[in-house]
Structure 1
């Protein structure tokens, strides 16, 4: 057997394997003899058919199977010996002009395409700089949250006349033309000048206004029209009021406190405000942690500076999915796949170089944490903990064991990121919620 490697570029190559009769014939003959002992052929007792007849019937299929086994094992062993890291799977190069004659050929030539990256190192030290973000929960955010909660848990009424902030239900129609639609108008989402036209108006009263009084985006957001309907409106309109909905804010009393946090969890307005602040801070701490880690991933990926064999990987993804995706699908999704692949390579290298391992018990604990978060608002409490082992076992066995492998990878990533933050230069940076939203949009 002869195996040769030809690198076409820094990340793509071809591997040629040449087989002679000596490489496979002994195994083929042994397999045929074994067949002869077991096979049933009409006219002969089981296992008594002549070897020549068995060879004539099964010889080609046995030859193909054995050569494929030899190719697979040889290719796998050869790639393990290389210094580079193979990405995806080798792709056989099919040449129409070299169609195999399995019955008469003795020597065979096979060729495979591979994509790879050269081995790399990523030392973690103070020269690598990143930010550790925290999101400040200020009084404004607490006040806005409390106002939203009071509105959400308030009582709904149907007053006689409209006031600012009400929802007005009625018929919107063009003064001249055929357009007409029943809508629910949120007065808080239109200009004050237009909203004032509705203030004091009651059931069956008609409000007249011009299309120009409605600003861009308000047709969709406030009136609930689609883009086509909004684009068709250009003249004067009428709005005939059919009903008015108003939500009265909930009072800051024990009933309200219990609805938000459960019976007797807080017993005063001060305790309630502190609990809201703590809950917000806890939620944003989790978001800040995720954001910090995602930004750190980008920095480490950039530092590794890996050059992926994109052309090869796109071809491999298309063939590996075997008709389930199109070339356009692969093209559209490739940037996401590439980012995940590069991070996986970086994470694995950091784990290997620093002997970071995801242990089975780590997987169990992380799964328990995930399940607790999923059921946090269910009120199951102690009963959940009593059945926790069963929940964990069922989840990790799900998806044919893939859930376990995914969780194992997640644990390793957590450990790698924790380790990296200890080694690099990490600067604490407190940001406002608005600043955080701006960073997310970049």
Structure 2
């Protein structure tokens, strides 16, 4: 047997395997003799059929099976000896007009495409710069949140005369485009000038305005129209009021406190404000942690300069998902796949180089944390703690064990990113929520 490697680019190569009769025939003969001992062929007692007859009946299929086994074992062993990291799976080269004659052919040549990466290098020290973002929850955000909570928990009424901030229910009619629809208009989400036309009016009032008075995005956000509906509206508009909906803000009392945080968690307005701020800060701490880590991933990726075998990977993805995806699907989704694969390679490299390992106990702890967060959002957290082990076990066994592997990978990523932050020069930067939103939009 001969195996050779032909690198034709920095990250793609061709593996050539040559087999001669001595490589496979002894195993084929042994398998046929074993078949002969067990074969039940008409006209012969069990196990007494001649080997030559068994060979005529099963020889080709046994030959194909043994050669495929030899190819698989040899290819895997050869690849394990290489220093580079194989991506995907080797792809057999499909040759045109070159069919194999299994009956007479003695020597066989096979070729496989492979994609790989090598020499991943990420020197981590204090020369490596990073930023740890911290979002500051200020009084403005706290007050806005409290007002929203009061509005959401308030009582709904239907006043006779409208005011700023009301929702106006009625019939929208764009005569030029022939569009009509019954909508609920949120006055807080249109311009003050246009909202002025809807304040101080009563049921059955008809408000006239022009489509150009509605700014970009307000048809969808304020009127609840789809993008397609909004795109066709132009010219003069009439709005016939059918009802006025208003939510009276809830009072800052114990009933309101209990509704938001549960019975007797807070008992005074001061405690309520402090609890809102604490909750907001906790939420934004998690968001800033995720953002910090994503920015670090970008920096690490740029530093590692991993060059993926894009052409090979696209072909492999198409073949591996044959019938499920098209070339267009692969091309469209490849940037996302490439980003995830690159980070996986970097994370595994850093974990190996620095002996970072995800332990079973870490997987259990992280899964419990995830489940607690899910239950907390439904208000059932404290009630489910006694059954936590059962929930964890059921989740990790789900998807035929894939959930466990995904969580194991997640734990490793957490540990790798924690190590990176401890090792590099990480500067803390406090930002406002508005600055954070600007960063997200970039």
Task: Identify the TM-score tier after normalising by the shorter chain.
Answer: over 0.9
Residue 32 to residue 124, structure 1, CA distance change in 2 (3 Å): same
Q: CA–CA distance in 1 between the matches of 2:176 and 2:16?
A: 77
Q: CA–CA distance in 1 between the matches of 2:197 and 2:11?
A: 68
Residues 222-233 of structure 1 mapped to structure 2, 5 A cutoff = 222-233=222-233
Residue 83 to residue 42, structure 1, CA distance change in 2 (3 Å): same
**Do residues 319 (structure 1) and 326 (structure 2) align?**
no
Mapped contact 2:183–2:223 kept (Cα < 8 A): yes
Q: Give deviations 1:92-135, integer Å, cap 9, x for gaps.
A: 11112321100111110001111111233322111110001110
**Do residues 28 (structure 1) and 25 (structure 2) align?**
no
Q: CA–CA distance in 1 between the matches of 2:253 and 2:233?
A: 46
Residue 168 to residue 342, structure 1, CA distance change in 2 (3 Å): same
| Aligned equivalent of 2:41 | 41
Residues 338-417 of structure 1 mapped to structure 2, 5 A cutoff = 338-417=338-417
SS of corresponding position for 1:110:
strand
| Aligned equivalent of 1:54 | 54
Tell me the CA shift for residue 298 of structure 1: 1.0
| Aligned equivalent of 1:108 | 108
Residue 233 to residue 10, structure 1, CA distance change in 2 (3 Å): closer
Tell me the CA shift for residue 178 of structure 1: 4.3
Residues 119-198 of structure 1 mapped to structure 2, 5 A cutoff = 119-174=119-174, 178-198=178-198
Tell me the CA shift for residue 340 of structure 1: 0.9
Tell me the CA shift for residue 45 of structure 1: 2.8
Residue 398 to residue 215, structure 1, CA distance change in 2 (3 Å): closer
Q: CA–CA distance in 2 between the matches of 1:283 and 1:340?
A: 25
Residue 83 to residue 234, structure 1, CA distance change in 2 (3 Å): closer
SS of corresponding position for 2:35:
helix
Mapped contact 1:356–1:416 kept (Cα < 8 A): yes
Mapped contact 1:137–1:433 kept (Cα < 8 A): yes
| Aligned equivalent of 2:283 | 283
SS of corresponding position for 2:133:
strand
| Aligned equivalent of 1:332 | 332
Q: CA–CA distance in 1 between the matches of 2:232 and 2:122?
A: 58
Residue 143 to residue 10, structure 1, CA distance change in 2 (3 Å): same
Tell me the CA shift for residue 370 of structure 1: 1.0
SS of corresponding position for 2:406:
helix
**Do residues 272 (structure 1) and 275 (structure 2) align?**
no
Q: Give deviations 1:38-66, integer Å, cap 9, x for gaps.
A: 22222333222221111111111111011
Residues 202-281 of structure 1 mapped to structure 2, 5 A cutoff = 202-281=202-281
Residue 43 to residue 89, structure 1, CA distance change in 2 (3 Å): same
Coordinate RMSD, CA, aligned: 1.6
Tell me the CA shift for residue 191 of structure 1: 2.3
Tell me the CA shift for residue 237 of structure 1: 2.9
Q: CA–CA distance in 2 between the matches of 1:154 and 1:319?
A: 57
Q: CA–CA distance in 1 between the matches of 2:218 and 2:383?
A: 48
Residues 73-112 of structure 1 mapped to structure 2, 5 A cutoff = 73-112=73-112
Q: CA–CA distance in 2 between the matches of 1:324 and 1:269?
A: 57
Q: Give deviations 1:187-215, integer Å, cap 9, x for gaps.
A: 22222222222222111222233334333
TM-score (norm 2): 0.96
SS of corresponding position for 1:358:
coil
Mapped contact 1:163–1:200 kept (Cα < 8 A): yes
Mapped contact 1:85–1:119 kept (Cα < 8 A): no
Residue 231 to residue 321, structure 1, CA distance change in 2 (3 Å): closer
Q: CA–CA distance in 1 between the matches of 2:177 and 2:93?
A: 66
Q: CA–CA distance in 1 between the matches of 2:231 and 2:356?
A: 59
| Aligned equivalent of 2:69 | 69
Gaps of 5+ in 2: none
Residue 412 to residue 216, structure 1, CA distance change in 2 (3 Å): closer
Q: CA–CA distance in 2 between the matches of 1:369 and 1:406?
A: 15
Q: Give deviations 1:168-227, integer Å, cap 9, x for gaps.
A: 111222467844322212222222222222222111222233334333333332223334
